[in-house]
Structure 1
Amino acid sequence: MSAQDGQDSKGKTPYKKKPLWKQLYFWVLLGIASGIVFGLTVPDVAAQMQWLATMFINLVKVVIAPTIFATVVVGIAGLGNLAKAGGLALRTVIYFNVTTVIALGIGLVVINLLGPGMGLNYDVASFDGSAADDTLASAEEASGEGLSGFLLSLIPTSFVSAFTDGNLLQVLLLAVLVAVAITMLGQRGQKIVQALDSIAKVMFGVIKQVMWVAPLGAFGGIAFTVGEHGSAILGN
């Protein structure tokens, strides 16, 4: 390694591990620990901290849909071949659905095996489920109509509604359609691909910034939970 430029014999700068205080997970863990202490010491104040967690979740929701749209369009349209693009589009949709089912399965297994929240003295009647009403209504409507209901649920009422409603399956479908359409344009579509690639990079930059709000979100969520339900929640 050259003492002058700090590089090894191959001209590569050796990897330097970041100090602990520069690691995101350190601040998230610190936020969780601080939230627990805050919730136990001043529960009345801590019970008002849920807005921090909600703020973080909403920030994440803002960037998810456009990021998925841009990256999927670039990935498919960037192939420049309609046959390959169509095959990749089909695999993308299948992958999305399969991983969704797997995630649901893992959630069900964890709930049934570990029983999170069991033994917690919580009044179900006080639970506000209004936020889930629209989602449950849409799910019931789709399941009640079988395959036709499912297919109809894939089609957004407008291009923008898929993003504003946060329906990722609709966003994915729009991304596939746009990617195939761009591929059909040939060389004329490359400028669109480049523009969307730039948008995707910008969105990843936004995500990187949002992730640094995660410690605040973790603090607010844990502080609210402990302040609202007491120390019993920690054992469940």
Structure 2
Amino acid sequence: MTGEVAMADLDAPVTAGQPLWRHIYIQVLVAILLGVIVGELWPAFGVALKPFGDGFVKLVRMIIAPVIFLTIVSGIAHLRHLGELGRIVLKAFAYFLTMSTFALILGLVVANVVQPGAGMHIDPATLDSAKIADYASKAHDQSVVGFILAIIPQTLLGALAEGEILQVLFVAILVGIAIALVGDRAAPVLAVVESGEAIVFRLVAILMKAAPIGAFGAMAFTIGQYGIGVLASLAGLVATFYLTSLLFVLVVLGLVARLAGFSIIRLIRYLAPELLLVLGTSSSEAALPSLIGKLEHAGCARPVVGLVVPTGYSFNLDGTNIYMTLAALFIAQACGIHLSLGQQLLLLGVAMLSSKGAAGVTGAGFITLAATLSIVPSVPVAGMALILGIDRFMSECRSLTNFVGNAVATIVVARWEGELDRDQLARTLSGRLPVLRA
């Protein structure tokens, strides 16, 4: 499969006689550890390394638009019937809605049981709202109508030029449908698309060689800028969020995976290189091209992968949903504000909508929280200043949870559609079908 090239170098099997240091899996892990050490011992130098992390993420984002466009166009053009397209999308959104609801409810329950913000006795009037003014203004700009209109690009090529995921998704679906309707006369165009897909995935493999440098720079900056010590005062919230996300992945997604016929632990092990990359860069987008290739290799049909993965990156944000309800109740508890059950359910409903309205926005987790709190007046938006300093640490957990959630979603939808090679999935996750070097 074409997509295998994207992650061939990132997940090549460790063979006897081959040095471990030659595998990017090991290189990324070592880079993260070195980044933590450098950021802690030489914080100023660690902060100065920020461009390495930013540069790598920009390199990957540069290639995301063509990867999504070519994958979706090729996938839709190969559908036997266009009715499959609508069916896949409907099943994907049904899954997204269900999992988002579970994630929001879990965050709400854990916040009420653990109460990480209780006893802080923060006076909302003393909070510096200027720190979160920029996030609040971006959240204010997110409306349902504006969100829908923003999906439509100014020009057909504008979507690729701007790199907005939802715009690229929209244009790719239209082009794929058009090619499928034209039929045999579009065969030369489809051949060009497939050749372009092979070239783009080869480019991804080349860019992935810079993953250790990006992970090192991003981690060194994070620790150098905020320090490990900043977690001390708010360690309860951070620990609660990480444990809740772990609970969601292992129990909720684990149960979904078992019902779909695979092991969540084996899937996590299979995606370990990408998860390390997400951890190092705090961006799930950095591993998007590799995820597409790996899911195809694991037996998911290309049309399903091409539609569910990019859509899930905007609409299936399990980690972000857990964060929103947990953080909102933390702020309320820290400020001594009691929320009734009705108010908490209102908060959950608003969070469900705002998480979709802020999809695709840079810093979506924090911006979405601002959007939610601005609609629910019971909790002061200024309270977000309490968690601004540790949001970077929680963003890593959000990205990891979102990433695993989208991988599970793709396999489940593929199985529902009968587009999953279950034997190939079993052999891949068990390591009996290794990914070979391209």
Q: Does structure 2 conserve the Cα–Cα contact (< 8 Å) formed by 1:72 and 1:176?
A: yes
C-alpha contact (below 8 Å) 1:89/1:176 kept by paired residues? no
The answer to which structure, 1 or 2, has the higher relative contact order (CA under 8 A, 6+ apart) is 1
Which deviates further from its counterpart, 62-71 or 86-95? Answer: 86-95
1:88 equivalent to 2:85? Answer: yes
| Aligned pair partner of 1:168 in 165, 168, 187 | 165
Paired residue secondary structure (1:67):
helix
The corresponding residue for 2:363 is: none
Give the share of equivalent positions with the same residue, in percent.
Answer: 29
Gap change, CA 1:43 and 1:214, over 3 Å in 2: same
> Could you tell me the TM-score, scaled by structure 1's length?
0.70
What does 1:116-135 correspond to in 2, within 5 Å?
Answer: none
- How many pairs does the alignment contain? 207
TM-score by length of 2: 0.40
Structure 1 Cα separation of the partners of residues 202 and 78 of structure 2 = 21
Matches of 1:101 and 1:62 in 2, distance apart?
A: 32
CA RMSD of aligned residues (A): 3.7
Shift of 1:87: 2.3
Q: Which residue of structure 1 lines up, in the alignment, with residue 265 of structure 2? A: none
How far 1:96 sits from its partner (Å)?
7.0
Deviations 1:79-103 (A, max 9, x none): 3x5xx13422552476379559857
Q: Secondary structure at the match of 1:212?
A: helix
Contact 2:14 2:20 in 1 (8 A): no
1:66 deviates by 0.8
Superposed CA offset, 1:79-136 (max 9, x none): 3x5xx13422552476379559857975996797799xxx9xxx97796886x68964
- 1:199-221 CA distances to partner (integer Å, 9 max, x unpaired)? 11111111112222111111111
Give runs of ≥4 in structure 1 deviating > 3 Å. 96-115, 123-130, 132-138, 233-236
Residue 212 (structure 2) pairs with residue 197 (structure 1): no
Q: How does 1:189-228 map to 2 (within 5 A)?
A: 189-228=186-225
* Residue 150 to residue 128, structure 1, CA distance change in 2 (3 Å): closer
Change (3 A) 1:214 1:93: farther
Structure 1: which amino acid aligns with 2:213? L
> Is this contact kept in 2: 1:69–1:171, CA < 8 A?
yes
**In structure 2, the residue corresponding to 1:185 is in which secondary structure?**
helix
Q: Distance in 2 between matches of 1:226 and 1:209?
A: 28
**Larger radius of gyration, structure 1 or 2?**
1
Cα offset for 1:64?
0.9
What does 1:130-149 correspond to in 2, within 5 Å? 136=139, 138=141, 140=142, 142-143=143-144, 145=145, 149=146
2:227 to 224, 227, 230: 230
Higher mean displacement: 45-54 or 163-172 = 163-172
Contact 1:86–1:180 at 8 Å: present in 2 too?
A: no
Unaligned runs of 5+ in 1: 1-14
Flag the 1:209–1:170 CA change in 2: closer, same or farther, 3 A: same
Deviations 1:177-213 (A, max 9, x none): 1111112222111111111111111111111122221
